[in-house]
Amino acid sequence: MGFLDSILKKKKSALVDTAEEGLANPEPVVASGPKPSPLAKLKGFLDHLEKIILGLVLLSVTVLSVMKLLAARKDVAAVEGGEKTVILGGSILALENERPTNLNTLIKKSQEDPEAISLRGTNHLVFNPRAWKEIPQTNGEPPLLVIDSPSAPLGVSALQVSSITNFKAYLNARAFIGGGIVRHEFTWLDREYPVIPYQMMNVGRALNPIKTFFPQRPMASSLLSKSATGWSVDPRGEPKPLHGFTGQNAWMLQLHPEWEVKVRFKAVSAAGAAQLAEARARPDKTVPNVVYDLDIIKGVKNGLQSYETNSVRAVSGVAIEESRGYAADFVYETKYHKKQALKNFRVGRHLMIDGEVFRVFRITADTVSLVSDPVYGGNGKIYDKLYPAPVVAPPPAVAPPPAVVPPPAVVPPPAGS
């Protein structure tokens, strides 16, 4: 007991000493500031909100990936543990029945004389697939689906050129006596080729959007002829204009530059005394048999080069023909459509066949070229129509198989023989 009492006494004395030191040296009192507001705490939370959301999203993606992996392993285990037996069906083909009987002939033909592939669609349908047409019915029945073939053409295949008109112009060079000297006059007549451009043609407000489906109207006659006098020989000089599209009408050449015609006067033969005497006796004073060397220059293409330049030799008072352009007439007739005549189609005009719009873009002396116009939903394919149309030979008739003659009946011998 004495040992415990001594320990307790030491603890008590230590506590008393500590208390006395505390009273002798008191700790300074720290003044407390204002308490932080809830909004400040919330701001600190919002500053880290993006990180919290990103962590939650990454955690969700990780959990989803693990779940998909476990599901995939489960499916693989189910497939591996399934039935693997393969049941065969069908019948075995007999090789002798499937082997071609003319194999030697085919091999010889392929090595010596193989059939050529025609890219025009005569014996293949790669570039020229068969076209099918729907023929509407008037009795309420569903439309017929008919194939377009050479023997029974439909659509644009049935369109044929019935005629091609060649528009001509005329140049007349004339020597005449005027004022006691021989003078020269040049006249250009181009009354068929120029027509009112579609840009200027007005067919009414309702029809203007489709005016290219109508024929173009003729122009005023004052624009289609021109005469000029007072020219002299100048083989190296600039050609002189000889057309009616001058002055206020010169802007039309921007739409059709091929309407412009120029003539270069290169040379002329001298008139003899007999020719002059004959000219004085004529009412129009024309000097006969004077020969001209001329260049006829038609238009300027893209502002760089002429469409056509012809060097001609003309005789005084005798007109020279010049080809200017073409117009085509069509005829359309099928087994299901009555015959229709389509007249006066020039370059640029449209026509519609079976709901497809075609534009005439080139006409020559024997061919009319049309294009399935992409502006109206066409595919841009070009169709050349020859004139006269080639004759399509009918398919060869198939001879009927020979009649099968039954073998004669076998008469059994009489009994007892």
Q: Which residues pair with 147 in a beta bridge?
A: 132
- Lowest average pLDDT, out of 146-150, 222-226, 282-286, goes to 146-150
Quote the CA–CA distance of 189 and 172 in Å, as a whole number: 8
Q: What stretch of H or E contains 76? A: helix 49-80
Model-level pTM?
A: 0.60
What is the pLDDT at residue 184?
95
Q: Which residue has the higher pLDDT, 325 or 23?
A: 325
Q: Which residue has the higher pLDDT, 219 or 112?
A: 219
Q: What is the pLDDT of residues 323-358, one digit of tens each?
A: 999 999 999 999 888 999 999 999 999 999 988 999
With CA atoms as reference, report the closest residue to 156 among 330, 374, 377: 330
Quote the CA–CA distance of 223 and 246 in Å, as a whole number: 9
Quote the CA–CA distance of 58 and 51 in Å, as a whole number: 11
Cα dihedral sign for 284, 288, 290, 291? positive
What is the pLDDT at residue 25?
54
With CA atoms as reference, report the closest residue to 370 among 352, 354, 388, 355: 352
Q: How confident is the model at residue 123 (pLDDT cuts 50, 70, 90)?
A: low
Q: Which residue has the higher pLDDT, 33 or 380?
A: 380
Three-state DSSP state, 1: coil
> At a CB cut-off of 8 Å and minimum separation 6, what does 309 contact?
295, 296, 297, 298
Q: Backbone dihedral region of 377: left (phi > 0), alpha (psi from -120 to 50 degrees) or beta?
A: left
Output the CA–CA distances (angstroms, integers) from residue 20 to 6, 12, 55, in the order listed.
Answer: 22, 13, 57
Q: What is the pLDDT of residues 88-116, one digit of tens each?
A: 777 777 777 777 778 888 888 887 777 76
Quote the CA–CA distance of 192 and 325 in Å, as a whole number: 9
Q: What is the pLDDT of residues 138-162, one digit of tens each?
A: 888 888 888 888 888 888 999 999 9
Tokens 């100048």, located at residue: 234
Contact 352, 370 (CB under 8 A): no
Q: How confident is the model at residue 121 (pLDDT cuts 50, 70, 90)?
A: very low
Quote the CA–CA distance of 80 and 85 in Å, as a whole number: 12
* CA 223 to chain CA centroid, nearest Å: 36
Output the CA–CA distances (angstroms, integers) from residue 339 to 134, 155, 160, 213, 364, in the order listed.
Answer: 19, 13, 11, 19, 25
* Whether the predicted pLDDT of 280 surpasses 60: yes
Cα dihedral sign for 102, 104, 108, 111? positive
Domain ranges of the chain: 167-325
* Whether the predicted pLDDT of 46 surpasses 90: no
Q: What is the pLDDT of residues 52-92, one digit of tens each?
A: 888 899 999 999 999 999 988 888 887 777 666 777 777 77
Average pLDDT for the chain: 83
Q: Hey, what are 385's tokens?
A: 């129509």
Output the CA–CA distances (angstroms, integers) from residue 27 to 22, 30, 31, in the order listed.
Answer: 8, 9, 13
